[in-house]
Amino acid sequence: MEEGMNLFYDKEGDVLDLSIGDPRDAISEEVSEDFFIRKDPKTKEILGFMVLNFEKRFQKLGQTQTLPLKAHFQLTP
């Protein structure tokens, strides 16, 4: 099933949150420093991810970081 993607950034907490589809119950798992995925507790399907200290990570211009994810994107009509 294809679902939309929702982004939310909390500047005060410096947290970027990305959710796939409608909100659902999930468990969080830290997969690298300050990077968490949210998974369906039964199916283990990835429902989104969260990056802590998001702005702090990119204070230097030109800095890049690779997240431990593979993704497929397509535009919705």
Please tell me the predicted confidence (pLDDT) of residue 11.
95
Please tell me the predicted confidence (pLDDT) of residue 1.
53
Tokens for 62? 């030109």
**Residues 4-62 pLDDT 10s:** 889 999 999 999 999 988 888 999 999 988 999 999 999 999 999 999 999 888 776 67
Domain ranges of the chain: 5-57
Please tell me the predicted confidence (pLDDT) of residue 52.
94
Q: d(Cα 63, Cα 60) in Å, to the nearest integer?
A: 6
9: left (phi over 0), alpha (psi -120 to 50) or beta: beta
pTM of structure: 0.77
Please tell me the predicted confidence (pLDDT) of residue 56.
86
